[in-house]
Structure 1
């Protein structure tokens, strides 16, 4: 169960606030057990547009929720583990997501998504192509090519789909130099859809740009680089 929520202030009277946190399934009994029968203390952080945004916070918890459901773990425990791993990787002191800068929050979300793509976590609460910024979608596309997960639905097996016409680069796909050609990773269903709708329409529908194949991608897909 998450132990951190995002809400909106509905009103105030003196030092008392009325806050809508948009949650109807808070396990109050569990919270009381955690706090020896007392109502828990909370930390109130107002969004000053410098720390992570409310939208970023929503995205964090959506990905964490998907990872927790896949692992069969408590989302709060999953969040604590990723916070520790993130702080350790970036040589930070123990960090609170509510105190992250927007840049740190973006990197944290990227870490969560990379884990999800690598391990095939079904993303149901979090829809990367609808929720990510354009720059972050490109990073997501790259991770899907590296880990061979369909960029639309996350399925594996999947195949690389070339966006540039191979004939314009020497013809035979087995003998051309694939470096710098654009590609996306797609399952059979979405591969067929891309072929039927056309490249430009397909890319626009799913907010994709395609990734230029580099050496790491080429090696992973056993493509020619000469």
Structure 2
């Protein structure tokens, strides 16, 4: 079964040699007929044994590849081949299959895909955005690439979670402050709800930026950091 034919669901019942699966998405009858080519479809049931790639990991990888294919014009199968080639070239990893690779390999490939999308500004569908693993540094990547941490919208604003007062921001030591990246709509909502209620609603965690990131994002200069460290006004 190819990547663009992959369906995911939950096993809900077993009756002898028959199983009942509730699909995560509504079945597209047109695609099913196309895949089957006029024949009765044959399906493969893969169970998570805890040692190889899990169905949840596979689902996230293919969701990413489908979003990338939609953005680039490739088919999902072509996108998988292209990204695997880049992954092998960048990491020196041996060839692997999404059907039976290790959990660790699946995590590394998913991280590679996420890094690639953030770097090149590939937009995520809302559902794919919500699938990004908690272990991935999404908040930091959003700040570095100006994507809303809530919805993934590009060209979003870097927001000070920590109030900076009404004085000149040039005089503030931003190394001590916490940040989040928000689109205009979510930025306005944050001000309406208040910071505490907003982060509780969306379960986000504002973070500090490194000195290099502060400089790259034009929030502070190295000169200003040195002046603060030397006690200069």
TM-score, normalization by structure 1: 0.77
Match of 1:158 in 2: 156
Distance (Å, rounded) in 2 between the aligned partners of 1:31 and 1:80: 23
Runs in 1 of length 4+ with deviation above 3 angstroms? 3-13, 16-32, 37-46
3-state SS of 1:185 partner = strand
Q: Does 1:187 align with 2:183?
A: yes
Q: How does 1:68-217 map to 2 (within 5 A)?
A: 68-124=69-125, 126-128=127-129, 130-136=130-136, 139-167=137-165, 172-217=168-213
Distance between the aligned counterparts of 1:91 and 1:5, measured in 2? Answer: 30
> Could you list the per-position Cα deviations for residues 97-128 of structure 1 after superposition, in whole angstroms to 9, with x for gaps in the alignment?
22232232222222222222333333226343
Q: 2:216 aligns with which of 212, 215, 220?
A: 220
Q: Structure 1's 58 and 164: CA in aligned 2 closer, same or farther, altered over 3 A? A: same
- Structure 1: which 5+ runs fail to align? none
SS of 1:161's partner is strand
| Residues 25-59 of structure 1: per-residue CA shift (max 9 Å, x gap) | 54565676xxxx99999877542112222111111
Give yes or no for contact 1:120–1:154 (8 Å, CA) kept in 2. Answer: no
Cα distance change, pair 127–44 in 1 and its aligned pair in 2 (3 A): closer
Give 1:2's aligned residue.
4
**Alpha-carbon distance, 1:11 to partner:** 5.2
Q: Which SS does the other structure have where 2:99 is aligned?
A: helix
How many pairs were matched up?
215
Cα distance in 1, alignment partners of residues 15 and 171 from structure 2: 69
Q: Distance in 2 between matches of 1:48 and 1:90?
A: 27
Larger mean CA deviation between 94-103 and 48-57 belongs to 94-103
